Amino acid sequence: MTHHRTLILICHGKTEPDWQGEDMLRPLRPSAKRAAQKFGSFLLEHQIDCPVLASPAVRTRLSAEKAAKVCGKPVRRIQYDKWLYRPGLPEQIDILSRHLMRNDLIYFGHAAAMQDLLLHLVGEVAAAHFGLACLAQLSIELDGRTGRIAAAELDRIKSDRALPDGFPFPAPGSDERRPRPAYYYTQSGVVPYQLTKDGARILLISNKSRQRWGVPKGICEPGLSPQVSAAKEALEEAGITGPVSDHVLGHYKVAKWGAVCSVQLHAMRVEGQLDNSEWAENRRARAWHPADQAAAHVHNPSLSGLIASFSQTISHRI
């Protein structure tokens, strides 16, 4: 009995050249992160939906995560195998064969190891054309008795440079293309508040240049609810923690990445606030304001209106 499978090989892009740390932790260049997103868009548009396996090195892990998010997949579903970091050819074949016996597979790995694999499976021509920031699609035949790869055929090789620079919006096949993946333009945020003996107050944060005031917000991460995504942004951008309400206060628009983002807003009761030394984005400013005065400091008119409406609601609770 023969099993027919599709195997997608994706090699990470270029890494930071001056990295002095451990090789396992070597970071990607920004261009390589974008390459991974372009491969994710390719998988989405070609309806390639199967398990993802990756080397645990930072450069392959991040590449897999970037691509998975573009496909709308939660990153927690990515599988990592420590033996795929600098593997020998026998180890690669054994690991991939076991996974392919169950499903088609997308594998994020390293250039040298993948070139060895391609050389073994389909010959030197394919291996010579494959390298950093490349994708190869193979049709695999597995021997059902032994679980070994019996035959392989190369369907295509693509470099990131051969793929479109823009991303379809709002879905695969759409005519409109945007500079960032579609999920970037759906965001969520919080209005952080506290009820004190002196009255209700609202926390505002500045942008990174400290020129405009707003609230914590960010991309709705695939696989996370708007509330959970907003809570993560609140911790990163404002250094605050607390429960986020399920109730939606409203939506407002923000111009970014060559288009317009829609932000869904929730209330967050602040229970903890990190010191500046512990706060990830402490180059921002943050300031508490009496609830009835906070809206006047906000640059975005729609957001200001939502905050003003919310301030009336919480002021009645005092």
The answer to whether position 52 is within a domain reads: yes
The answer to whether position 170 is within a domain reads: no
Structure confidence at residue 55 as a pLDDT band (50, 70, 90): very high
Is residue 200 located within the same domain as residue 118? Answer: no
Mean pLDDT score, 57-80: 96
Q: What is the pLDDT of residues 77-120, one digit of tens each?
A: 999 999 999 999 999 999 999 999 999 999 999 999 999 999 99
pLDDT the model gives residue 272: 95
3-state class (DSSP) for residue 123: coil
At position 59, the amino acid (one-letter code) is R
Is residue 63 located within the same domain as residue 152? Answer: yes
- pTM for the full predicted model: 0.89
How many separate domains does the chain show?
2
| Cis amide leading into 172 (omega within 30) | no
At residue 14, does pLDDT exceed 60?
Answer: yes
Contact between 152 and 13 under an 8 Å Cβ cutoff? The reply is no
3-state class (DSSP) for residue 274: coil
Is residue 197 located within the same domain as residue 77? Answer: no
The answer to whether position 242 is within a domain reads: yes
Is residue 81 located within the same domain as residue 55? Answer: yes
The answer to whether position 56 is within a domain reads: yes
Residue 136 main-chain phi, psi, to 5 deg: -125, 135
Structure confidence at residue 186 as a pLDDT band (50, 70, 90): very high
Is residue 230 located within the same domain as residue 157? Answer: no
Is residue 96 located within the same domain as residue 59? Answer: yes
Q: Residue 200 sits in a domain of what CATH number?
A: 3.90.79.10
Total residues found in the chain within this entry: 318
Is residue 37 located within the same domain as residue 63? Answer: yes
Is residue 184 located within the same domain as residue 158? Answer: no
Domain boundary among 165, 200, 221: 165
The answer to whether position 136 is within a domain reads: yes
Contact between 70 and 181 under an 8 Å Cβ cutoff? The reply is yes
Is residue 189 located within the same domain as residue 237? Answer: yes
Domain boundary among 165, 194, 223: 165
The answer to whether position 305 is within a domain reads: yes
Residue 191 bridge partners (DSSP): 267
List the domain range (segments joined by +) for residue 233. 178-315
Is residue 143 located within the same domain as residue 218? Answer: no
The answer to whether position 171 is within a domain reads: no
Is residue 231 located within the same domain as residue 191? Answer: yes
Is residue 22 located within the same domain as residue 160? Answer: yes
pLDDT the model gives residue 316: 65
Euclidean distance between the first and the last CA atom of the chain, given in angstroms as a whole number:
73
The answer to whether position 57 is within a domain reads: yes
Domain boundary among 165, 187, 213: 165
